């Protein structure tokens, strides 16, 4: 499958079967978005590591989900108002440092990453880092904000892999639900997903009709965040192309079992 007319599937999304995306790495002990969590996910056979990016008050790009330090670290404060000198001393779960994205890319040179751009201030630092390191080849750029997603992609090579923002997902859902002739529906979905490689959605959105429409447009469907085995099997049976999970260990076993063992090509 290609991801649209004249747009081959990017290598970062290649695989012989459904992809395993490790949500904020793999952590059973509160160490999400840390280097050990990312490394653990890769050791378990994750195809991509999913992470998020923010910037500190002085423009340092960090792999971190929340806009505040409070929930997962021993520090407090809004990231965008806190300098790196303070953030660097915070400890996730009281143990692990908040990683700069540059450190993640350097520490995991072979890893593929799905990067969710969480804040406007992250756009320019992310573009600069991905261009300087050439890491744009191994990332999928994602954001709920279509404006942020497009801003990042505008600064990167056209072949950079992209996930659909929330407005595009809503447009596809609308086209699928509307009483349109099949040809008109296909045109509407194709227009919504122009320049996009993958659509990443919550389970409730990934209906059979939605998955079918996205596939007809030549794009991929990833579903988040799926942590129980029955739901994993149901979605995989429904033809989704990847699952985002906190339970990399469970999904790894499910995927291996579906192809007869741990010899699945990765």
Supply the residues annotated as catalytic.
Answer: 23, 65
Query: Cβ distance 243 to 236 under 8 Å?
Result: yes
The DSSP annotation for the chain comes to --SSTT-PPPGGG--SSPEEEEETS--SSS-TTSHHHHHHHHHTT-SEEEEEEEE-TT--EEE-SSSBSTTTBS--SBGGGS-HHHHTT-EETTTEEPPBHHHHHHH-TT--EEEEE-SGGGHHHHHHHHHHH-GGGGEEEE-S-HHHHHHHHHTS-TT-EEBPPHHHHHHHHHHHHS---HHHHHHHHHHHTTT--EEEEEGGG--HHHHHHHHHTT-EEEEE---SHHHHHHHHHTT-SEEEES-HHHHHHHHHHHTTSTT---
Would you give the distance in Å from CA 248 to the centre of its chain? 14
* Contacts with 1 (C-beta within 8 Å, 6 or more apart), sequence order: 9, 215, 218, 220
Q: Which residue's entry shows tokens 């997603």? A: 149
């Amino acid at each position: 499958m290609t991801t649209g007319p004249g747009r081959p599937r990017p290598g970062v999304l290649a695989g012989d079967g459904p992809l395993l995306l490790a949500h904020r790495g793999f952590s059973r002990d509160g160490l999400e978005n840390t280097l050990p969590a990312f490394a653990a996910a890769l050791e378990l056979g994750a195809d991509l590591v999913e992470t998020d990016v923010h910037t500190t008050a002085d423009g340092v790009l960090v792999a971190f989900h929340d806009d505040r330090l409070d929930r997962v670290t021993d520090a407090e404060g809004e990231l965008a108002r806190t300098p790196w000198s303070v953030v660097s001393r915070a400890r996730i779960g009281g143990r692990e440092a908040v990683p700069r994205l540059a450190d993640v890319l350097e520490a995991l040179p072979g890893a593929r990453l799905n990067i969710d751009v969480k804040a406007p201030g992250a756009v320019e630092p992310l573009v600069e880092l991905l261009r300087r390191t050439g890491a744009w080849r191994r990332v999928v750029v994602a954001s709920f904000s279509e404006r942020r997603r497009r801003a990042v992609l505008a600064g990167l090579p056209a072949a950079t892999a992209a996930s659909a923002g929330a407005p595009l997902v809503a447009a596809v859902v609308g086209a699928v639900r509307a009483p349109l002739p099949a040809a008109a529906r296909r045109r509407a979905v194709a227009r919504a997903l122009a320049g996009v490689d993958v659509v990443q959605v919550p389970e409730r959105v990934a209906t059979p009709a939605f998955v079918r429409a996205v596939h007809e447009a030549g794009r991929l469907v990833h579903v988040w965040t799926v942590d129980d085995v029955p739901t994993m099997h149901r979605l995989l049976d429904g033809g989704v192309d990847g699952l985002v999970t906190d339970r990399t260990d469970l999904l790894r076993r499910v995927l291996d079992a579906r192809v007869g063992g741990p010899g699945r090509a990765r």
